[in-house]
Chain A
Amino acid sequence: MSVVKKTLAEFVAITVLGTALSLGANAISHRGVKLERNYFPRGQGAASQPATQIVAQPGTAPAQPLGPGGEFAAEVEAIYNEGLQPILHGDVVAAFEDPLHEMGAHVFVDARDDHSYALGHIPGAYQLDHYLLDKYIDRVLPVCQQAVKIVIYCNGGDCEDSRFAAHDLLERGIDPAKVFVYPGGITQWCENDLPVERGVRGSGDIVPGSRVGGAQ
């Protein structure tokens, strides 16, 4: 057999066997990727509200108009297009400072990974890492079922994990009317020097956001 033929035969054999072995290793690994799972859910299609319409929330008016030309216009449109509702910074702060937050009726959900969450999250926010859903969902779901308003965030800007986490909640029966995605995310929160909690939830280690600096 010529060198070329032999090389090609080896190439095919290694590709096939290597792929099989790799899939086996991935299946055994408890951190492996679940092959069938849709890690990037986009919801059920377009929202019932067009992107230009202002979301009317009971008792509150949005701090700024949502939609084209407004704050985080592209992100707001993407949130609508996935059938979700955006919430802008002013309303997020209002929801945070509302006594309902203290009572557990306003819930904040941090959709980032362990490392980012530990560096600093909105005080009292529950972590829901969409990619490791099994680890967090049992803790977060009952809290969200009791809540009247759920604010989900990630780093802010073009990060999509808050939207994915929102879909996780909707798929598990949480009322879409109370789920809000904060497009500014932790970056905008920290830029406004609002308090962040470091470490685990309820650690009491609260520092100004400017000391954490948002996206990590």
Chain B
Amino acid sequence: MTAEPGLLRRLDRTGVPIVLARVALGALFIYTGIEKAVNPVDFLKMIHQYHMVPEQPPILLNSMAAVLPWLEIICGLMLIAGVALRGTALLLLVMLVGFTGAVALRAINIYNAQDIAFCAIKFNCGCGTGEEWICESPGR
């Protein structure tokens, strides 16, 4: 005798939540990708400000600025289309872990250099959403 599955499990089995999540995440990546792809030189300036990739040879930074925005758009489209989902998700995960590490490192560098409260740190991460506080906006 099997127990009646819970509501969440039954909802999950319809396949609707995963589709919604895929479409939402895919749309987010397409949006942030387009924000950068329309002006890749601005994106190049922002990743240069991280000082984590050597300036020489120039092709290192340049190809990051050229590829990353479009790769986000492509991955976003594939998430929505449902093609090679696991591989796409893994690639996005790898990129996100990289971006998160870079943002955290940069915040720590600013913290060490400027002697200000950690949550007072704010910079344009180049993520496509403009200038952001490193944590929640301080005291507001």
Contacts and interface: CB of A to CB of B under 8 A. Distances in A.
Interface stretch (B2-10, B15-23, B66-74): B66-74
A42 to B, nearest CB: 8
A11 B91 contact: yes
B57 to A, nearest CB: 8
B104 interface: no
Interface stretch (A26-34, A87-95, A193-201): A26-34
Contacts of A19: 67, 71
B41 A6 contact: no
A131 B91 contact: no
Contacts of B88: 10, 14
Interface in B93-117: 94
B37 to A, nearest CB: 7
A34 B56 CA distance: 14
A19 B70 CA distance: 8
Nearest to A25: B70
Interface string B72-96: 0011001000001011101100100
Interface in B35-87: 37-42, 44-45, 48, 55-56, 58-59, 61-63, 65-71, 74-75, 78, 84, 86-87
B87 A11 contact: yes
A14 B84 contact: yes
A203 to B, nearest CB: 24
How many B residues are at the interface, by size bracket?
20 to 34
A14 B69 CA distance: 14
Contacts of B66: 22-23, 26, 32-33, 35
Contacts of A25: 37, 70
B115 to A, nearest CB: 16
B74 A39 contact: no
Contacts of A146: none
B55 A35 contact: no
A36 B90 CA distance: 30
Q: Which 9 A/B pairs are nearest by Cβ-Cβ distance?
A: A10-B87, A22-B70, A26-B66, A7-B86, A22-B67, A10-B84, A38-B58, A131-B41, A11-B87
Given A11-B87, A13-B87, A14-B87, 4 more contacts: A11-B94, A25-B37, A39-B45, A39-B48
Interface of B: 37-42, 44-45, 48, 55-56, 58-59, 61-63, 65-71, 74-75, 78, 84, 86-88, 90-91, 94
